[in-house]
């Protein structure tokens, strides 16, 4: 079992003929993901990925002709917000946007539009999501994990791989791993995903990987204390980050005294959530939390 | 991207937000000429990206051009909280001020909406107003899909306790400031103080503007605003070489990672093993050999760096490219100047390690895990310090 994505999910890839789109779509298909269509305007009628995937000009056509229900976006930043709107308008219920560098204004406008239509948006500026053993939508290297009882969610990409890999080395896999993205405004927050893991019968424990900036971790801590019965382990990156400097992610910035790693760790621990000191310790705590 | 006051005001003016007449100057002589042309009492203001310059003596009035030159020569070169003053703004200051207010717009991450703030208590630190006199601070959320409507404006004006006779002038300025915020792709626009003159004109006396760097492609006019000369030397070098996200720190262990989260975590783990990170450098998703080579040379431009830790977990970045980048960089630099601990994992990791092994570069130490790599880099940095 998994959340959001499984082997039956019918995926359309926007930007499938670009270099990143081609590289990762091939990996996703090889993993077992049911990629039914691709979209690149003005390349409709072609076939991509060694002739395996039909290409359409619009997402609407991909939905109508191939029954796509989930969209994976590898479109360059200036056009990515529009690509999200297109997949929402075409009726996709899940939209995963990998693209980094989308202007905040574009996301400020897209966010309420997407939420009002009940669509789940993951990202942008994220590695996507994987339900190990079933399907992979995005750029997470599938070979470093396998199926198991842990639900993993994170604002980071590579840091997530690190924790996944450490758990996998200890023999523990995941139901689903979701990279929610490192931008100031992302489609799904920690609470949205944690609620799904709580409802998923196969998920026995949850690992949440946060970082400096904003207050999503603090909000999640309050939510977990009131609503989550499963053990939650957390990790926060950025204890050594100086104030006022953007640490790579557009959203990773300590502003004055708010958004610090210490404040997030304190909020989580105050609600009884264990916080690992290193990715390795976090993976160990998560494995132990399974009892 | 934080702007200097005069840069922010130039953008204000392009959206019709009224600003005082004036110009920036990099020399006292130039300041004198600007004051001469204005022909009125002027104010000479230090242009630095930090608050509290007034208290530090960085803002001074001058009754004529000669006095403006004298004040400018005092202010230029001053150090304000670690920021050296390289430029002053000379503006006319002949209007009698009837009132000082506060207005701002920003993106509220938590609410995922725009936040407009307005207060009759202008000229003060707004966080102090929020803490001590919250009744004088209006906080109004605006749905980005709806935009600023007259009702939002009324809530800002009445909520901020702006006197009725100033609503028209201040309201007009706020509307234009909102256009500037949205159309200009700013993450923050703040006017403190916004003044109303004796004649009833509303003017932005100061500006604080931060632009969204992700939106620069929509604004070719912003490119000349990014003043590299104001950045610390290494960060300037990093920008010039286009190596991505570099932040300089105080330590002696240089760090390259891929992905912001992993890189931040690498710094934390180095600190955990008793080391001091020299920098944050995320070479990003599509990093190639050239980016890696440039990144290493930027880090090694600091003499403090005693060891270098490269921590790569391959997703988009392929480890074979990283390995080739490390070899190319070491060749370019004429050998590994400091010991380098390299950890590769993820996409094409085996190929990457094989490339490193085959090249057999002296001073490059492979490590299997992140903790082992961090520990080794910290040890190597300490050993070199002692020797």
Taking the domains of chain A in order of start, what are their residue ranges?
A: 11-122, 141-289
Domains A11-122 and A141-289 share a fold: yes
How far is A102 from A79, CA to CA, in rounded Å?
8
Q: Which two tokens stand for residue A70?
A: 């989930």
* Count of CB pairs separated by less than 8 Å, A with B: 175
Q: pLDDT grade, residue B288 (50/70/90)?
A: low
Q: Residue window 18-57, chain A: list those with CB within 8 Å of chain B.
A: 20, 24
pLDDT at res. B224: 77
A280–B370 CB contact, under 8 Å: yes
Contacts of A260 in chain B (CB under 8 A): none
Contacts of B267 in chain A (CB under 8 A): 240-241
A225 touches chain B (CB under 8 A): no
Cβ atoms of A207 and A150 closer than 8 Å: yes
Contacts of A160 in chain B (CB under 8 A): 261
Q: Residue window 118-157, chain A: list those with CB within 8 Å of chain B.
A: 127, 139-141, 144, 154-157
Residue among A145, A141, A117, A115 at smallest CA distance from A132: A145
Q: Between B316 and A94, name the one with better pLDDT.
A: A94
The 3-state DSSP class for residue A215 equals coil
How far is A280 from B250, CA to CA, in rounded Å?
26
Residue B220 per-residue DSSP state = G
Beta bridge partners of B346: B314
Beta bridge partners of B92: B42
pLDDT at res. B236: 82
How far is A38 from A18, CA to CA, in rounded Å?
11
pLDDT at res. A55: 98
Q: Between A14 and B230, name the one with better pLDDT.
A: A14
Per-residue buried b or exposed e for B272-297, using 16+ beta carbons within 10 Å of the residue's own CB: beebbbbbbbbbbbebebbbbbbbbb
How far is B105 from B191, CA to CA, in rounded Å?
9
Q: pLDDT grade, residue B349 (50/70/90)?
A: confident
Q: pLDDT grade, residue B240 (50/70/90)?
A: confident
C-alpha pair distances (Å), B13 with each of A220, B1, B195: 42, 19, 16
Q: Was domain A11-122 assigned CATH 3.40.50.720?
A: yes
pLDDT tens track of chain A, all 291 residues? 799 999 999 999 999 999 999 999 999 999 999 999 999 999 999 999 999 999 999 999 999 999 999 999 999 999 999 999 999 999 999 999 999 999 999 999 999 999 999 999 999 999 999 999 999 999 998 888 999 999 999 998 889 998 998 899 899 999 999 999 999 999 999 999 999 999 999 999 999 999 999 889 999 999 999 999 999 999 999 999 988 788 877 777 777 667 899 999 999 999 999 999 999 999 999 999 998
A238–B264 CB contact, under 8 Å: yes
Q: pLDDT grade, residue B324 (50/70/90)?
A: confident
Q: Residue window 61-120, chain B: list those with CB within 8 Å of chain A.
A: 107, 109-110, 112-114
Residue B26 per-residue DSSP state = S
Q: Which residues fall within 8 angstroms of residue A217, CB to CB, at 6 or more apart?
A: A190, A208, A210, A234, A236, A264, A267, A268
pLDDT at res. A131: 98
User: Which residue has tokens 């200036």?
Assistant: A78
Mean pLDDT score of chain B, rounded to an integer?
Answer: 91
Q: Between B6 and B238, name the one with better pLDDT.
A: B6
Residue among B233, B187, B231 at smallest CA distance from B213: B187
Q: Which of B260, B282, B309, B349 to mutate to test the interface with A (most CBs of A within 10 A)?
A: B260
How far is A70 from B280, CA to CA, in rounded Å?
36
Q: Was domain A141-289 assigned CATH 3.40.50.261?
A: yes
C-alpha pair distances (Å), A184 with each of A104, A181, A189, A215, A233: 7, 9, 11, 10, 23
pLDDT, tens digit (0-9, with 9 covering 90-100), for B297-312: 899 888 899 999 999 8
Q: pLDDT grade, residue B107 (50/70/90)?
A: very high
How far is A47 from A61, CA to CA, in rounded Å?
14
C-alpha pair distances (Å), A193 with each of A48, A85, A153, A178: 32, 21, 7, 8
pLDDT at res. A275: 96
Cβ atoms of B278 and B252 closer than 8 Å: yes
Residue A54, CA atoms < 13 Å, CB-side half-sphere: 14
**Beta-strand runs (E) in chain A:** 11-14, 35-39, 47-48, 53-56, 70-73, 94-97, 120-122, 128-131, 135-138, 147-154, 174-179, 205-211, 232-237, 274-276
A247–B245 CB contact, under 8 Å: yes
Mean pLDDT over residues B265-293, rounded? 87
| B316, pLDDT greater than 70 | no
pLDDT at res. B228: 58
Q: Could you say which of A155, A196, A230, A249 is catalytic?
A: A249
Mean pLDDT over residues B129-136, rounded? 92
| B329, pLDDT greater than 90 | no
pTM assigned to the model: 0.91
Contacts of A158 in chain B (CB under 8 A): 257-259, 261-262, 313, 315, 346
pLDDT at res. A23: 92
Structural domains of chain B in order of their starting residue, each with its CATH number = 21-92 (3.30.1490.20), 97-225 (3.30.470.20), 231-382 (3.40.50.261)
pLDDT at res. B315: 63
Q: Between B182 and B223, name the one with better pLDDT.
A: B182
pLDDT at res. A195: 98
Q: Which residues fall within 8 angstroms of residue B346, CB to CB, at 6 or more apart?
A: A141, A144, A158, A161, A165, B312, B313, B314, B315, B319
**Beta-strand runs (E) in B9-160:** 22-25, 42-46, 59-62, 79-80, 83-84, 88-92, 97-108, 113-119, 137-142
């Amino acid at each position: 079992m998994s959340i959001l994505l499984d082997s039956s999910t019918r995926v359309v890839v926007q930007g499938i003929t670009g270099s990143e789109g081609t590289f990762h779509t091939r990996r996703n298909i090889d993993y077992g993901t049911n990629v039914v269509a691709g979209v690149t305007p003005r390349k409709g009628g072609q076939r991509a990925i060694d002739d395996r995937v039909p290409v359409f000009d619009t997402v609407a056509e991909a939905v109508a002709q191939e029954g796509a229900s989930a969209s994976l976006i590898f479109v360059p930043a200036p056009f990515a917000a529009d690509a999200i709107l297109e997949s929402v308008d075409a009726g996709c219920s899940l939209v995963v946007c990998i693209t980094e560098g989308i202007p905040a204004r574009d996301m400020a406008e897209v966010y309420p539009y997407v939420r009002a239509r009940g669509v789940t948006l993951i990202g942008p500026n994220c590695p996507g999501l994987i339900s190990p053993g079933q399907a992979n939508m995005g750029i997470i290297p599938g070979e470093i994990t396998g199926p198991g009882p842990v639900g993993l969610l994170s604002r980071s990409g590579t840091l997530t791989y690190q924790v996944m890999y450490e758990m996998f080395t200890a023999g523990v896999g995941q139901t689903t791993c979701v990279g929610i993205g490192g931008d100031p405004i992302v489609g799904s927050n920690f609470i949205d995903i944690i609620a799904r893991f709580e409802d998923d019968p196969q998920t026995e424990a949850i690992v949440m990987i946060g970082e400096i900036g904003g207050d999503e971790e603090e909000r999640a801590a309050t939510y977990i204390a009131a609503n989550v019965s499963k053990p939650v382990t957390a990790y926060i990156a950025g204890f050594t980050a100086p104030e006022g400097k953007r640490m790579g992610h557009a959203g990773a910035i300590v502003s004055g005294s708010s958004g610090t790693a210490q404040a997030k760790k304190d909020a989580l621990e105050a609600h009884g959530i264990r916080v690992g000191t290193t990715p390795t310790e976090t993976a160990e705590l998560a494995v132990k939390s399974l009892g | 991207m934080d702007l200097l006051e005069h840069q922010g005001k130039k953008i204000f003016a392009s959206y019709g937000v009224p600003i005082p007449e004036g110009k920036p100057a990099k020399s006292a002589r130039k300041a004198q000429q600007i004051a001469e042309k204005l022909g009125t009492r002027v104010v000479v203001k230090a242009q630095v990206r930090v608050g509290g310059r007034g208290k530090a003596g960085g803002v001074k009035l001058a009754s004529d051009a000669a006095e403006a030159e004298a004040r400018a020569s005092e202010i230029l070169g001053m150090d304000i909280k670690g920021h050296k003053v390289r430029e002053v703004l000379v503006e006319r200051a002949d209007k009698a001020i009837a009132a000082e207010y506060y207005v701002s717009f920003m993106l509220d991450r938590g609410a995922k909406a725009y936040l407009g703030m307005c207060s009759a208590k202008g000229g003060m630190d707004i966080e102090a107003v929020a803490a001590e006199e919250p009744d004088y601070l209006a906080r109004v959320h605006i749905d980005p899909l709806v935009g600023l409507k007259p009702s939002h404006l009324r809530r800002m004006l009445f909520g901020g306790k702006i006197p009725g006779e100033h609503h028209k002038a201040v309201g007009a300025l706020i509307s234009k400031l909102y256009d500037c915020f949205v159309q200009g792709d700013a993450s923050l626009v703040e006017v403190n103080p916004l003044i109303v003159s004796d004649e009833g004109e509303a003017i932005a006396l100061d500006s604080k503007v931060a632009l969204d760097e992700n939106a620069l492609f929509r604004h070719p006019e912003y490119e000349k605003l990014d003043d590299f000369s104001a950045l610390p030397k290494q960060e300037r070098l990093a920008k010039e070489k286009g190596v991505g996200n570099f932040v300089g720190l105080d330590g002696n262990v240089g760090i390259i990672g891929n992905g912001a989260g992993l890189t931040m975590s690498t710094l934390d783990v180095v600190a955990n093993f008793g080391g001091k990170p020299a920098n944050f450098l995320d070479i990003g998703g599509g990093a190639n050999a050239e980016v890696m080579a440039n990144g290493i040379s930027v880090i090694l431009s600091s003499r403090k760096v005693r060891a270098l830790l490269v921590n790569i977990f391959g997703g988009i970045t392929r480890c074979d490219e990283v390995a080739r980048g490390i070899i190319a960089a070491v060749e370019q630099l004429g050998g590994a100047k400091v010991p380098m601990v390299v950890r590769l994992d993820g996409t094409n990791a085996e190929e990457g390690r094989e490339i490193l092994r085959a090249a057999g570069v002296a001073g490059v130490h492979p490590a299997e895990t992140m903790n082992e790599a961090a520990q080794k880099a910290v040890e190597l940095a300490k050993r070199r310090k002692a020797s």
